[in-house]
Amino acid sequence: MKRKRIGVLTAGGDTPALNATIWGIVEEANRRDTEVLGLMRGYASLLGEQVPAVLLNPLFSSIPELDSCAGGTILGSSRTYIEPDSVEMSRARSNLQRLELDGLICVGGDGTINGMQPLTEITPCVLAPKTIDNDLGLNYSEEATDWVFDTDSGQSKLVPSREHIQPADIINYATPGFATSVFVVVQSIDRIRTTAESHRRIAVVEVMGRKSGYIALGSAYAQPDFILIPEVPLDLDALEQQVRRLYEIQEHVVIVVGEGVRLPDGTELGAAEQTHDPAGNIKFSGAADALVGLLRKRMGSECFDRIRSGEPAEAAFFTRKIGHTQRGGRPIQFDRFYGSRIGGKAMELVAAGDSNQVATLQYTDETGFHFSSLPAHRLRDSRGTIHARTLHPTMYDAGRMQMSDFGRDYLHPIFSNAIGWDDVEFIREETFGGGNLTRRFQSANVDVGKRVRLL
């Protein structure tokens, strides 16, 4: 009997948990005597004359380059997507048919689901979620249909029909990649805090997340003084007042700002540029700098005179954009464990012939974390659009510009056991053990590249 062959690709922005998810897929496939063909650089792999691909489990054991503890993806990624009824689509169709796949697992976020949709006509496709932004999912099962389209502005707006939610209501509680990203953010803020404290400065730290404030929410573990999220329009008067008051007391302030934060008129604080991503994803930059510009103008220099005697008021502020460090490097225990398990779940679904399904990580207080799945269309609103999941209003306290009690209840299950002893120990043993001084960095791209075949 012919053995089953499943394809896997990673698409969109990378996360630290991608290799863990691929590893989970391959381990589950090994148990099922199924071949796994890794397609290189996401959907871009399907657009050429031939498909660059690597067999991830020759003789049903994983290739050694597949390390669940390594960040990034050995398959490479791209933000290339395939439009239905396009030339690319017919190329992808014939390539997929030639590969004789029994299914395809796409590891990605909302943009990846849109890219996957047309391919479901050719082979069963399942999504294994990943995104550091934690924006793939729903706060409650009917949330997608609560998006209302306003014809005047041409924009959709979420009008939540559920005032309160429970952890068990959340579809896809946390996405592999998110926990490591928060870990990096928290460590960065800890370090920024002490320098702001010593030099009596106001630090504004910009974190990723696009239109979703989950990473900003997670920064609460570093105890920033204020957390500003994209979901709640910025109240500059209130912020200025609270910053002034706190600066007087503790002589420094730390503010975290989610990159997509908006002014009350809806405009983004940082410059926003449209990307080519069919999910309509927008690239933000400059929210922290823009916020400092506004605060500086409002606060003037008097409030710094006493505390920073003689030093220019402008120097009292500094910004730090944590940037791509929050998306890279070694995944922490939570992401390794649940990233690989969700890969296994996706493999299970595709092996059962399910198509256009999303593997999900669920949580209830009674059972802890467990896995489930959801038809991808349940994430779409009445117009067929998938919106980034945003923080439910009960997760944030807009008055204090801080995480709310429910926000804390939400984070607790993820982070109470997210970090393994080896997440810290590897720095001592691996990074500073001495070996790095005697050998060059060895990129998986080189070793995996030797295994790539054009099929």
> In this chain, which stretch among 65-73, 130-138, 166-174, 228-236 interacts with ligand F6P, using CB under 6 A?
130-138
Can you tell me the distance from the alpha carbon of 68 to that of 106, in angstroms, rounded to the nearest whole number? 17
> In this chain, which stretch among 131-139, 361-369, 403-411, 412-420 interacts with ligand F6P, using CB under 6 A?
131-139
User: 128 or 132: whose CB is closer to ligand F6P?
Assistant: 132
In degrees rounded to 5, what are phi and psi of residue 143?
-60, -40
Given 132, 254, 332, 342, the residue binding ligand F6P (CB under 6 A): 132
> In this chain, which stretch among 39-47, 158-166, 205-213, 299-307 interacts with ligand F6P, using CB under 6 A?
205-213
Chain positions 275 to 314 lying near ligand F6P, rule: CB under 6 A, are 283-284
Q: Is 354 a known active-site residue?
A: no
Number of residues engaging ligand F6P in binding (CB under 6 A): 11
The minimum distance between CB 250 and ligand F6P, in angstroms, equals 30
Q: Would you state the structure tokens that stand for residue 439, as one six-digit string?
A: 């050998």
Tokens 């209840």 locate to 409
Decide: is 210 part of the binding site for ligand F6P (CB under 6 A). Answer: yes
Buried b (16+ CB within 10 A) or exposed e, 319-337: bbbbeeebbbbbbbbbbbb
What percent of the chain is helix, strand and coil (3-state, nearest 5)? 40, 20, 40
User: 208 or 346: whose CB is closer to ligand F6P?
Assistant: 208
The minimum distance between CB 227 and ligand F6P, in angstroms, equals 16
User: 146 or 277: whose CB is closer to ligand F6P?
Assistant: 277
User: 27 or 135: whose CB is closer to ligand F6P?
Assistant: 135
User: 286 or 293: whose CB is closer to ligand F6P?
Assistant: 286
Nearest to 260 by CA among 272, 245, 275: 272
Can you tell me the distance from the alpha carbon of 178 to that of 329, in angstroms, rounded to the nearest whole number? 13
Given 8, 9, 10, 13, the residue binding ligand F6P (CB under 6 A): 13
Where are the extended beta strands (E) located within 325-395?
Answer: 357-364, 368-375
The minimum distance between CB 207 and ligand F6P, in angstroms, equals 8
Contact 186, 222 (CB under 8 A): yes
Angle between helix axes 405-415 and 178-198 (nearest 10 degrees) is 120
Q: Would you state the structure tokens that stand for residue 396, as one six-digit string?
A: 């944030």
Chain positions 80 to 99 lying near ligand F6P, rule: CB under 6 A, are none
Q: Would you state the structure tokens that stand for residue 233, as one six-digit string?
A: 């329009």
Decide: is 179 part of the binding site for ligand F6P (CB under 6 A). Answer: no
Given 133, 143, 146, 231, the residue binding ligand F6P (CB under 6 A): 133
Catalytic residue among 14, 102, 133, 423: 133
Nearest to 132 by CA among 397, 329, 340: 329
Q: Exposed, middle or buried by CB within 10 Å (0-12, 13-18, 19+), for 117?
A: buried
> In this chain, which stretch among 91-99, 204-212, 243-251, 422-430 interacts with ligand F6P, using CB under 6 A?
204-212
Given 57, 77, 95, 131, the residue binding ligand F6P (CB under 6 A): 131
In degrees rounded to 5, what are phi and psi of residue 397?
-105, 100
Q: How far from the centroid of its chain's Cα atoms is residue 104's Cα?
A: 22
Contact 217, 186 (CB under 8 A): no
Decide: is 208 part of the binding site for ligand F6P (CB under 6 A). Answer: yes
Chain positions 308 to 347 lying near ligand F6P, rule: CB under 6 A, are 327
Q: Which residues are catalytically annotated? A: 133
Residues of this chain that interact with ligand F6P (CB under 6 A) are 13, 131-133, 208-210, 259, 283-284, 327
